[in-house]
């Protein structure tokens, strides 16, 4: 028997080579971009349809239109009802999901490969031939208005809504995907049908088909289901990355009152570069060291050292246009001011006299690269990943090059982007908490009297 020294951790070996499955690109006669990926581990096929209009395409005064349109797609096709659609899904064991993002609407359907044509046909019916009935809109709209009322009881949701409103103002990114109750009440079935006709265009979409089949077989599935999709009049407007920059934040310090709250929810942040920035790699490395993992700086400070919170985190919310950087934490009401001071101090230190060290960088790099291949184990993971390449115009080799790209990031790179993109003097702090308990302390931060942020019904 070989003796094992259990007093020491095993030595960490080199990363194994990672190969992302080959992506074949095709374009149907109607302009639909199709990307196929062979993934033969299981007899499963996943279809991901990426439509390049999301919440950022909501017209002014019609916030929530993109999301409610997407929600209406599975309410029926032709004479079929939502229950009929659900039955058709069940018969082929399909898993269906729809996600509304800032810059896109993403529909995903996974089924057994022997049902690939039926699954693709069902997805095509939802996208190309939805019923969009008035009675369904009334019900879905009521559900969303009720959901907005429920979100009033979620401090985190109220904080996010308030923060977006402050940093983006009237910019298209300045609201939640669900929209606003006032705008939802005004939506009509004509709004929905017009948005659907304009946004769901083959020339503005990418279909990813990944799973158990050859590229030719997967392409044939796409062609049979979506080959009849015809283009109409596209949405007016300009691409998200070409929109005017959001205005300067309207306040440095905002307060959303929550009567007798035992905790305060903090959101501290500022606008950040778009996903296309060449500094993406050092920025996510910076975030991993600063607040992207349990052992990162802000969590160790606010949780482990100070005992203010169960957890604090930072993150970049990437978009095709201007994104955001935020630090978020829920802290005891009595330490609200102190937590803001300590959080801002950590943000100042990482760009000043205490940049990310070599040891912190190694730990951050390991958190991002070790086990990276586990992100691509299933056909669904692969298909969704390829849709991200399409959304952000990334090369097909992006995932294979990710680890080497992270390995090339240096301490100097991280220090530079911290100085360039993080500036506490420009950040907005939004607090959801009890006015009577926290306002006086917040007023001593040097940002003036907290601005009361009233949220719409």
In this structure, the answer to whether residues 40 and 130 fall within a common structural domain is: yes
In this structure, the answer to whether residues 266 and 219 fall within a common structural domain is: no
Among the three residues 196, 231, 266, which one is the final residue of a domain in this structure? 231
In this structure, the answer to whether residues 224 and 266 fall within a common structural domain is: no
Tell me if 131 is assigned to some domain: yes
Helices (H), 21-154: 65-72, 82-91, 116-128, 134-151
Per-residue pLDDT of the chain (457 residues; tens, 9 = 90+): 677 788 887 776 776 778 999 999 999 999 999 999 999 999 999 999 999 999 999 999 999 999 999 999 999 998 889 999 999 999 999 999 999 999 999 999 999 999 999 999 999 999 999 999 999 999 999 999 999 999 989 999 999 999 999 999 989 999 999 999 999 999 999 999 999 999 999 999 999 999 999 999 999 999 999 999 998 766 665 566 666 667 777 789 999 999 999 999 999 999 999 999 999 999 999 999 999 999 999 999 999 999 999 999 999 999 999 999 999 999 999 999 999 999 999 999 999 999 999 999 999 999 999 989 999 999 999 999 999 999 999 999 999 999 999 999 999 999 999 999 999 999 999 999 999 999 999 999 999 999 999 765 5
Structure confidence at residue 231 (pLDDT): 83
Nearest 5 degrees, angle CA 312-CA 314-CA 316? 160
In this structure, the answer to whether residues 300 and 402 fall within a common structural domain is: yes
Structure confidence at residue 238 (pLDDT): 53
Place of tokens 């939640």: 176
Parent domain of 59 = 23-231
In this structure, the answer to whether residues 270 and 122 fall within a common structural domain is: no
CATH code where residue 92 lies = 3.30.830.10
In this structure, the answer to whether residues 132 and 273 fall within a common structural domain is: no
Tell me if 320 is assigned to some domain: yes
293: closest CA among 367, 370, 344, 365? 367
In this structure, the answer to whether residues 327 and 397 fall within a common structural domain is: yes
Report how far apart, in Å, the C-alpha atoms of 18 and of each of 21, 147, 259, 373 are: 10, 43, 52, 7
In this structure, the answer to whether residues 174 and 264 fall within a common structural domain is: no
23: closest CA among 279, 390, 386, 442? 386
How far is Cα 390 from Cα 32, in angstroms, rounded to an integer? 12
| pTM score, whole prediction | 0.92
Tell me if 102 is assigned to some domain: yes
In this structure, the answer to whether residues 130 and 264 fall within a common structural domain is: no
Tell me if 433 is assigned to some domain: yes
Structure confidence at residue 438 (pLDDT): 97
Tell me if 339 is assigned to some domain: yes
Phi-psi region of 249 (alpha: psi -120 to 50; beta: other; left: phi over 0): beta
Tell me if 241 is assigned to some domain: no
**DSSP-based three-state secondary structure for 122:** helix
Structure confidence at residue 135 (pLDDT): 95
Among the three residues 231, 264, 292, which one is the final residue of a domain in this structure? 231
Report how far apart, in Å, the C-alpha atoms of 82 and of each of 65, 118, 133, 190, 208 are: 20, 17, 11, 20, 25
Tell me if 246 is assigned to some domain: no
Nearest 5 degrees, angle CA 221-CA 225-CA 228? 130
Which residues fall within 8 angstroms of residue 444, CB to CB, at 6 or more apart?
Answer: 337
Structure confidence at residue 193 (pLDDT): 96
State the helix-helix crossing angle for 134-151 and 189-199, rounded to 10 degrees. 90
Structure confidence at residue 1 (pLDDT): 62
In this structure, the answer to whether residues 89 and 166 fall within a common structural domain is: yes
Structure confidence at residue 3 (pLDDT): 77
Structure confidence at residue 237 (pLDDT): 56
How far is Cα 29 from Cα 203, in angstroms, rounded to an integer? 10
Label residue 306 exposed, middle or buried (CB < 10 Å: 0-12, 13-18, 19+): middle
183: closest CA among 141, 154, 153? 141
In this structure, the answer to whether residues 332 and 365 fall within a common structural domain is: yes
In this structure, the answer to whether residues 187 and 39 fall within a common structural domain is: yes
Tell me if 44 is assigned to some domain: yes
Domains in the chain: how many in total?
2
Among the three residues 198, 231, 264, which one is the final residue of a domain in this structure? 231
Which residues fall within 8 angstroms of residue 72, CB to CB, at 6 or more apart?
Answer: 130, 132, 136, 137, 140, 192, 196
């Amino acid at each position: 028997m070989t003796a094992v020294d259990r007093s020491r951790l095993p030595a960490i070996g080199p990363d194994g080579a990672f190969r992302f499955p080959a992506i074949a690109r095709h374009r149907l006669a109607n302009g639909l971009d199709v990307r196929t990926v062979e993934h033969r581990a299981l007899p499963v096929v996943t279809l991901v349809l990426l439509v390049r209009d999301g919440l950022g395409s909501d017209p002014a005064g019609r916030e929530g239109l993109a999301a409610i349109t997407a929600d209406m797609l599975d309410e029926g096709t032709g004479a079929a009802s939502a229950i009929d659609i659900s039955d058709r899904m069940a018969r082929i064991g399909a898993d269906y999901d729809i996600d509304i993002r800032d810059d896109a609407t993403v529909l995903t359907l996974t089924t057994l490969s022997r049902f690939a044509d039926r699954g693709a046909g069902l997805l095509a019916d939802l996208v190309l031939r939805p019923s969009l009935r008035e009675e369904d809109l009334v019900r879905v709209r009521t559900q969303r208005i009720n959901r907005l009322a429920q979100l009033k009881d979620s401090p985190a949701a109220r904080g996010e809504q308030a923060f977006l409103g402050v940093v983006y103002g009237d910019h298209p990114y300045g609201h939640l995907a669900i929209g606003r109750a006032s705008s939802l009440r005004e939506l009509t079935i004509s709004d929905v049908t017009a948005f659907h006709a304009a946004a769901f265009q083959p020339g503005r979409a990418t279909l990813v088909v990944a799973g158990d089949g050859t590229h030719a077989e997967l392409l044939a599935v796409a062609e049979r289901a979506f080959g009849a999709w015809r283009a109409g009049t596209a949405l007016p407007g300009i691409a998200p990355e070409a929109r005017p920059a959001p205005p300067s934040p309207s306040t440095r310090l905002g307060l959303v009152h929550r009567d007798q709250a035992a905790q305060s929810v903090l959101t501290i942040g500022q606008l950040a570069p778009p996903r296309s920035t060449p500094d993406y790699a050092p920025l996510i490395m910076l975030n991993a060291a600063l607040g992207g993992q349990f052992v990162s700086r802000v969590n160790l400070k606010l949780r482990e050292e100070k005992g203010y919170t169960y957890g604090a985190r930072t993150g970049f919310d990437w978009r095709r246009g201007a994104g955001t950087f935020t630090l978020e934490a829920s802290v005891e009401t009595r330490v609200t001011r102190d937590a803001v001071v300590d959080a801002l101090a950590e943000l100042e230190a990482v760009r000043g006299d205490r940049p990310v060290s070599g040891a912190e960088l190694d730990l951050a790099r390991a958190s991002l690269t070790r086990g990276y291949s586990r992100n691509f184990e299933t056909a669904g993971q692969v298909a969704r990943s390829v849709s991200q390449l399409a959304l952000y115009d990334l090369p097909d080799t992006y995932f294979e090059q990710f680890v080497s790209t992270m390995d090339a990031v240096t301490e100097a790179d991280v220090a530079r982007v911290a100085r360039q993109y993080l500036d506490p003097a420009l950040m907005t702090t939004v607090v959801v908490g009890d006015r009577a308990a926290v306002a006086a302390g917040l007023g001593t931060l040097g940002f003036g009297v907290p601005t009361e942020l009233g949220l719409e019904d």
